[in-house]
Structure 1
Amino acid sequence: MVRALGVAATLLILAVAAGAAWALFAPRPDVVVSGGDAGIPMASVDRIYSGVAVYAVIAAVLGILVALVVWFGMPRTRGPLSVLYTVAAALAGGGIAMAAGTGLAKLRVPELNPHKDGTYPSVIDLWLKNASLANQPAPWLLLVIAPGLAALTCFFLATASNSQDLGVGDGDPADDGFAPIPVTAEGAT
């Protein structure tokens, strides 16, 4: 139980750190206020896409780290339920990273004054409200990156394991996963 709480605390710290990294490294598009109207100039539109791409890379790394923390932090629980826990933790971690990153980025950006003309930095909303997938609203698109990479990492870790019980320790200790090949004197040349 203590180990599971330690893993959960580590995952929470990783998620907040991922959000802080995004808040620190993501480019900020400018908003121009003129005559009471506000808009993003064309020269600044690429920063929106760059900010989303930065989060996508951070979320991919977060998903891999979540899988590694769960795999090595709770070795006695490896198996299908561990994969479900890993994917759920990566999904929650991705959401926490998005919320923390947006919140921390807003702390670093001055408040936009719609009554004063000028150029203001803004924060990208990682909940992609206008995103769509097959003509269906999909504001959650960035949330699938961390769980997807976490599940893929679990697959790689399981296939790289050299024991049939994935190192859990509930299998036959004499069974190393390889069946011996019988060799007789008659078959030898």
Structure 2
Amino acid sequence: MSPATDTSFFALFDTAIGCCAIAWGDAGIRGVQLPEASAPQTRDRMRARFPDGQEAPPPADVQAVMAGVVAMLRGQAHDFSALVLDMRGVPEFPQRVYAVARNIAPGQTLTYGEVAARLSEPGAARAVGQALGRNPFAPVVPCHRVLAAGDQPGGFSASGGVRTKLRLLLIEGAMRGTPGLFD
């Protein structure tokens, strides 16, 4: 990552679904941004999310993460399990939710309730959904792989909403056999 400072940096990069962005700093990846409607809007979103961030050329390790996101959004499986995420400021419960989501393989899905059960908190499906709605690392923390009860799509906070979520699931081949899910 960058030299040990509290400064953060970000860069935009093109993918099969549009212009994404990534932010990094001394403690790892600070955030990943799915595309907004245009590259300037993605840049504006990064400036709002990381007001201390400076747009900069990414170092080699961040370039590797970007290449992984590009591959993932082309439908190629990519393993982000070793990726260091800067979780400063992320409460403990969402961190636990993100850890479960990171273990959902491409092409697979869980429901909010199944994630809650894996956390040994079976009544926490709504809290799981809220944590995923604030996921600062999409798509490397693949919140799109978590569905509502009955394998319904549920919500999605990225630009494009549920349509973007369904597009990501289609790219990964995550059809669980629910008729109408991807209509």
TM range (shorter): under 0.3
Q: Which has the higher contact order (CA 8 A, sep 6+)?
A: 1
TM-score w.r.t. length of structure 2: 0.22
| Bigger share in strand | 2
Compare CA radii of gyration and give the structure with the larger one: 1
| Bigger share in helix | 1
TM-score w.r.t. length of structure 1: 0.21
